[in-house]
Structure 1
């Protein structure tokens, strides 16, 4: 995930997708990229928390896995690029 890159916020409507899953405790599949030119990876779990740390937004799954929002490609079948 982009750790040294400048943070790029995600769209509010995609944030709503993440928040809905966190609120309902619905398990989901996250698709993300650790680096811009690498193939995407997937991770399955339940979003426990959405939080801000040093002006960067993150999500934390129930098992402790953490991910920057701007590393996300999709959650379940919903791709970030389709949100504005």
Structure 2
């Protein structure tokens, strides 16, 4: 994923799972690609989901903000390729 790629909406079911994790304040393993193309993973709580400029983001309790289409998996659940 590169920073100039247009936002690709994620699966509605996966979005619902992210909302549930945020509500539960459960610590989860989030695996994602950075805009530079590097893979990262961290054990965090999902604090909030937010939409800006027609792009969706997750805010993590470690201060990171990740665009949702950069996420590969959360707590072992792979993100589907479609909505």
TM-score normalised by L of structure 2: 0.86
For residue 4 of structure 1, report the CA deviation from its aligned partner.
1.8
Q: Could you say if the C-alpha distance between residues 4 and 39 of structure 1 is closer, same or farther in structure 2, counting changes exceeding 3 Å?
A: closer
* 2:73 matched residue in structure 1: 74
Where structure 1 has 5 or more consecutive residues not aligned to the other structure, the ranges are none
Give 4+ residue runs of structure 1 displaced > 2 Å after superposition. 81-84
Deviation track 1:25-68 (CA, whole Å, cap 9, x = no partner) reads 001111111259x5632121101100001110000012211000
Query: How many angstroms apart in 1 are the aligned matches of 2:40 and 2:52?
Result: 23
* 1:25 matched residue in structure 2: 25
Where structure 2 has 5 or more consecutive residues not aligned to the other structure, the ranges are none
For residue 2 of structure 1, report the CA deviation from its aligned partner.
4.0
- Conserved in 2, the CA contact under 8 Å of 1:2 and 1:71? no
Could you say what the CA RMSD is over the residues aligned between the two structures, in angstroms?
2.1
Q: Give the number of aligned pairs.
A: 83
